[in-house]
Amino acid sequence: MKRIVIVGGGISGLTVAYRLHELSCEKEIPIDMTLLEGRSRLGGVIETQSKDGFLLEYGPDALMTDRPWSINLCKRLGIESELIGMQKEADHSYIVCKGKMCRIPTGFYLLAPSNIKALVQSHFLSSAGKLRLAAELFIPKRKSKDDESVGSFIRRRFGREVLERLGEPLLAGIYTAHPDQLSMQAVLPHFREMESKYGSVTRGLWALREKHGMKDCTEENSRKMFVTFKDGMRRLIHALIENMPDVSFATSTPVEKIAFDHMRILEVTIQGGAVIEADAVCLALPAMRSSEIVNSFSPRLAEKLADIKYESVVTVNVAYDELAFPKRLDGAGFVIPSVENRRLVGSIFSSIKFDGRAPKGAVLIRTFLGNAIQRNNVDLDDQEMRQLVTEELRDILGVTREPLFIDIQRYEMSIPQYGLNYQKLLKAIESERAECPGLFLTGNAFAGVGLTSCIHQAELIAEKMFLQFCETTENHVQTVGQV
């Protein structure tokens, strides 16, 4: 029986294990599978806690449904019926503009309006900013096929104001990076394609709208983009674990290194010195952790993995009595452009966004701090952070009472920075990895930060491992391919 070790028990590692388990059952080829997790619990950054009738998400709070992979996984796990969509009141979001909450009009697709009404209603832009945004239709397309920063693309096509007021806060919320440091090829390749195919992103969006009827960019559709579980994101982790009884899970088992023995069998060394032999190993870890583990085995791969930089993020769940607000909250939340000089990245109105997040008469807000633009804030101690969040929410939302409680969760170096020429770096990593028979890599550094992308990437890697190690009688047959 082939022995496979998966290192890392976040969504990526668990999905690799589950897909291998599925293939093993389907093809009736048993696998001896072990998943090693450094911490005392599985789930990685996915963490849900119940507290005083509130349901707190520390890490991700939703799955994106724009691509099918996460919903497909839920279907296969038998938990699709437990998914809930966003509530009606959460069908819009806000941008803080000159200290005030400004509603993002329906019809905005990230940075570009898919209709004229959306453009006219964008109160967070000056008249000059709107004209410059409209001029995107006539800006000649870029000839070079080289990578470009997202900041440069937005500035070039939509103007500085759209970058500062819309692009930067929206992208900082997802990638924790400044747009000038993000790779267009890695982050917004479809916008580049629209530019090259239609000569303009706006024109590309109109063409899409035409193709799909009036369906895209409506409030209802934007609500359907995000789903979660009635019991929070932890449900996905529990379902994965419950559905693979043949996998051995070892928590509190940090892996230190991997190496080949004299028979070219992989040896996985755990902190404390215990060694596990394996035919194949998948590292489903942040890239810098994988880099440390492969260092003695392939210094060149380690060096390339270490080139992937990460940023930290802090989530602060703040619970209030609903009477603390001058008016009833609505919307999914708000983002704050850095030109506003505030100390938060943005907030999600958790109890408006999804049902069952706060008891009756209470409100739950999840606030984000820290990214490449406001790095200093993540170093504040808990007391300073509590004060900062309370003051900022008081100022922005007019809150008049103290919070019922504040819960702080820190995710250090958790979000990979998809920098300029990122695809080139990934290719270089893949060609080094292909030189290490039996070694596979996955995680949020490889094909997208969101859960849906992590799931897809992990499934592809599992299929590759199965094909190369379980369906063939020969060990260590490797093909050089793109991860």
Q: Which residues bind ligand FAD (CB under 6 A)?
A: 7-13, 36-39, 44-46, 59-64, 254-255, 284-286, 289, 313, 315, 411, 414-415, 443-444, 449-452, 454
Minimal distance in Å, beta carbon 455 to ligand FAD? 9
Minimal distance in Å, beta carbon 258 to ligand FAD? 10
Q: Which is nearer to ligand FAD, 126 or 271 (CB)?
A: 271
Q: Which is nearer to ligand FAD, 111 or 233 (CB)?
A: 233
Q: Which is nearer to ligand FAD, 129 or 169 (CB)?
A: 169
Alpha-carbon gap, residue 441 to 430, rounded angstroms: 9
Minimal distance in Å, beta carbon 480 to ligand FAD? 24
Alpha-carbon gap, residue 230 to 239, rounded angstroms: 13
Q: How many CB atoms lie within 10 A of CB 400?
A: 12
For residues 268 and 7, the answer to whether their CB atoms sit within 8 Å is yes
3-state secondary structure of 156: helix
- Measure the CA angle with vertex 454, ends 452 and 458; round to 5°: 120
Alpha-carbon gap, residue 190 to 168, rounded angstroms: 18
Give the long-range contacts of residues 261-268, CB within 8 A, separation 24 or more: 264/437, 264/476, 266/5, 266/438, 266/439, 268/5, 268/7, 268/36
Q: How many CB atoms lie within 10 A of CB 334?
A: 25
Q: Which is nearer to ligand FAD, 189 or 326 (CB)?
A: 189
Minimal distance in Å, beta carbon 233 to ligand FAD? 8
Give bridge partners of residue 318 from the DSSP assignment. 365, 406
Q: Which is nearer to ligand FAD, 249 or 405 (CB)?
A: 249
Minimal distance in Å, beta carbon 123 to ligand FAD? 27
Minimal distance in Å, beta carbon 290 to ligand FAD? 8
Alpha-carbon gap, residue 130 to 145, rounded angstroms: 28
Alpha-carbon gap, residue 127 to 157, rounded angstroms: 17
Q: How many CB atoms lie within 10 A of CB 401?
A: 12
- Region of residue 114 (phi > 0: left; psi between -120 and 50: alpha; otherwise: beta): alpha
Q: Which is nearer to ligand FAD, 97 or 465 (CB)?
A: 465
Q: Which is nearer to ligand FAD, 158 or 418 (CB)?
A: 418
Minimal distance in Å, beta carbon 42 to ligand FAD? 7
Q: Which is nearer to ligand FAD, 133 or 316 (CB)?
A: 316
Give bridge partners of residue 284 from the DSSP assignment. 442
Minimal distance in Å, beta carbon 59 to ligand FAD? 5
Minimal distance in Å, beta carbon 44 to ligand FAD? 2
Tell which residue, 389, 63, 435, has the closest CA to residue 225: 63
Q: Which is nearer to ligand FAD, 332 or 425 (CB)?
A: 332
Q: How far is CA 54 from the centre of its chain?
A: 24
